Amino acid sequence: MLNTKLSNNAGIKGFVFTLFSLLFITVSHSATAPLVCKDISQLKIIGELEYVSVMPENLRQKARIDTGAQTSSIGIVDSIFFERDGKKWVQFNVKDHIKNRIIKFERPLKRIVKIKRHQAEATERPVVELKIKLGQMELVREFSLADRSQFKYPILIGRNVLNNKFLVNVGQKFSSSQIKEYEQ
């Protein structure tokens, strides 16, 4: 079908070459597939830094991927508690470092977490559920609201996001966004 415009001889050569190539692909794929491709289909490999969007506000920020942290956290400017329909909520402001603006969030308060700190007093942080987008994946996970002004990256992705979803390859950075841009 591919070689209809070619002479008979060239057509046969092309056909043989095609067959050979296909055979090679099959063999090489079956050799590597059991090792990784199985993993890739179930768990996505991400780098040590990735872009993460908080939905539906669509706040896109750089995030440090941290297997040393249990709970993820997001850096906030300030926060206040308020009541809505008899339930505790928290309103907090987050600085959008990319577009240089402040975005206001309102979420129900899930719980308060106690943070043990080395060489400093223990501190408490409010925890809320956030819907995030990492690459093509959307997840709802708990985030503690933290002062991350001392840190380079405003979002920290801990094990509660990574579990059963992602593998971390520290050699790469911002890989999920590249894939996204390539597909668009």
Q: Which residues bind another protein (CB under 8 A)?
A: 2-3, 5-6, 14, 18, 21, 24-25, 28-29, 31-33, 35-37, 39-40, 43, 45, 48, 64-69, 117-120, 150-151, 156, 159, 162-164, 167-171
Our CB check for another protein shows the closer of 83 and 183 to be: 183
CA distance 182 to 101: 28
Q: Please, what is the minimum distance in Å from the beta carbon of residue 116 to another protein? A: 8
CA distance 88 to 83: 5
Query: Which residues, including other chains, have CB under 8 Å from residue 129's CB and lie 6 or more apart?
Result: 107, 108, 110, 140, 141, 142, 143
Q: Which of 62, 57, 72, 53 is nearest to 98 (CA)?
A: 62
Q: Which two tokens stand for residue 166?
A: 């992602």
Our CB check for another protein shows the closer of 50 and 105 to be: 50
Burial class (CB in 10 A: 0-12, 13-18, 19+), 34: exposed
Q: Please, what is the minimum distance in Å from the beta carbon of residue 126 to another protein? A: 17
Question: How many CB atoms sit inside 10 A of residue 170's CB?
Answer: 10
Q: Please, what is the minimum distance in Å from the beta carbon of residue 163 to another protein? A: 6
Q: Please, what is the minimum distance in Å from the beta carbon of residue 27 to another protein? A: 10
Residue with tokens 């050569």: 13
Our CB check for another protein shows the closer of 103 and 115 to be: 115
Q: Please, what is the minimum distance in Å from the beta carbon of residue 85 to another protein? A: 35
Our CB check for another protein shows the closer of 79 and 91 to be: 79
Our CB check for another protein shows the closer of 64 and 141 to be: 64
CA distance 70 to 132: 17
